[in-house]
Structure 1
Amino acid sequence: MKVTKIFTFDSAHNLTKYNGKCENLHGHTYKLEVTVEGELDDEGMVIDFEILKDIVNKVIIDKLDHHYLNEVFGFNTTCENIITWMWKELKPELKSERYELYKIKLWETPTSFAEITSNDVYHKD
């Protein structure tokens, strides 16, 4: 079974090595969807939503919300690069005998997002 929790955070950034509007400083209200896959426990849960919220807030949201992403990261702050970083940070935190991280979807705007799933080859160890 899969369960998903949705988060939002506000951050500013500008793209480097880019020729266009986004090379200028601008901000987004990002929407982050984190999906965990696993087996139900004795209480009928894959993972308690409060536990999932606490982990994502500690590992991701607290580090990015109301921050200038170019100062947080040493890479070009594209949606694709940010979500790859998120995957690497969350994967070990959302792994147990019963469940594991399955998918992350990061919405940069209401019509544009990047997505990583456990089936994607390029991030496998």
Structure 2
Amino acid sequence: MILIKEFEFDAAHNLIHYHGKCEKLHGHTYRLVVKLEGKPDEEGMIFDFVELKNIVNEKIISKFDHAYLNNIISQPTAENIAMYTWKNLEKYVNRNNCSLYEVEVWETKTSGVIYRGE
């Protein structure tokens, strides 16, 4: 089974190693989707939604929301945001019955990336 939890945050960035409009300072309302793969435990859950929400809010959203992402990630592309999110969540969500499966980062309604670890 795949458990899914969505989040949203607003942030600014500029892509310093890119030549085009996005090298200028701009912002997005990002959508972050965290997916865990696993089997229900003795309580019938892969992972408690409330606990997952708290972990993602503490480890990711509290750092990214209304932030200048270049202060956190040197080249904050959607790809690098997804890899950062994976690296900073994996150890907190992997359990005997489940593990981090996939991270999606959407910069706009039509443009995003999916990362499944290395």
State the TM-score bracket (shorter-chain normalisation).
over 0.9
- The residue type equivalent to 2:80 in the other structure is N
Q: Distance in 1 between matches of 2:15 and 2:116?
A: 25
Partner of 1:37: 37
Q: Distance in 1 between matches of 2:67 and 2:35?
A: 24
TM-score of the superposed pair, with normalisation by structure 2: 0.96
Partner of 2:54: 54
TM-score of the superposed pair, with normalisation by structure 1: 0.91
Q: Distance in 2 between matches of 1:31 and 1:117?
A: 17
Q: Deviations over 1:18-54 (max 9, x none)?
A: 1111011100000000001111112211001001101
Instruction: Give the fraction of aligned pairs with identical amino acids, expressed as a percent.
Output: 48
Partner of 2:110: 111
Q: Distance in 1 between matches of 2:17 and 2:40?
A: 46
Q: Distance in 2 between matches of 1:112 and 1:88?
A: 22
- The residue type equivalent to 1:102 in the other structure is Y
Q: State the secondary structure of the residue aligned to 2:107.
A: strand
Partner of 1:82: 81
Partner of 1:28: 28
Q: Distance in 1 between matches of 2:111 and 2:54?
A: 26
> Residue 86 of structure 1: CA displacement?
0.8
Q: Distance in 2 between matches of 1:18 and 1:41?
A: 46
For the pair 1:68 / 2:76, whether they are aligned, the reply is: no
> Residue 99 of structure 1: CA displacement?
1.0
Q: State the secondary structure of the residue aligned to 1:41.
A: coil
Q: State the secondary structure of the residue aligned to 1:15.
A: coil
5+ long unaligned stretches in structure 2 = none
Deviates more, 1:35-44 or 1:55-64: 35-44
